[in-house]
């Protein structure tokens, strides 16, 4: 299944921010799939017998495509977290 990867929504102000947000969301989707459908060894080392999986992974839409669609629809909510400088967290002993 080939899909058109052109962004159809309003062009974001910061393309690097948009890519980062979509990449993080795609990673979340992929992690959730890995938890739901853990990949098992397909060959039993002892018998060298092929083990058939009942899940058709090719039928799943790619995480990057899902993340891009969610971003276009405005379904991804994100915010910036202000990081404290390292100097504030460390106590200097003299």
Q: Which residues of 51-73 are buried (b: 16+ CB within 10 A; e: fewer)?
A: eeeeeeeeeeeebbbbbbbbbee
CA atoms of 77 and 32, how far apart (whole Å): 18
Q: Is residue 93 part of a domain?
A: no
Q: Is residue 9 part of a domain?
A: no
Structure confidence by residue, pLDDT tens digits, 8-30: 667 778 888 889 999 999 999 99
Q: Which domain holds residue 65?
A: 15-36+59-71
CA angle 4, 9, 14 (to 5 degrees): 110
Question: What does the DSSP 8-state code read for residue 92?
Answer: P
Q: Is residue 53 part of a domain?
A: no
Structure confidence by residue, pLDDT tens digits, 25-77: 999 999 998 888 876 655 556 666 655 667 777 788 899 999 988 988 889 88
Please give the tally of structural domains in the chain. 1
Residue 90 has pLDDT above 70, yes or no: no
Residue 72: per-residue pLDDT? 86
- Prediction pTM value: 0.62
Q: Is residue 28 part of a domain?
A: yes
């Amino acid at each position: 299944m080939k899909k058109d990867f052109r962004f159809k929504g309003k062009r974001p102000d910061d393309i690097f921010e948009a890519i980062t947000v979509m990449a993080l969301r795609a990673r979340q989707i992929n992690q959730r799939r890995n938890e739901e459908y853990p990949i098992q060894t397909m060959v039993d080392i002892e018998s060298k017998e092929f083990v058939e999986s009942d899940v058709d992974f090719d039928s799943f839409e790619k995480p990057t495509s899902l993340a891009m669609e969610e971003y276009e629809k405005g379904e991804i909510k994100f915010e910036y977290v202000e990081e404290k400088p390292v100097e504030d967290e460390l106590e200097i002993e003299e």
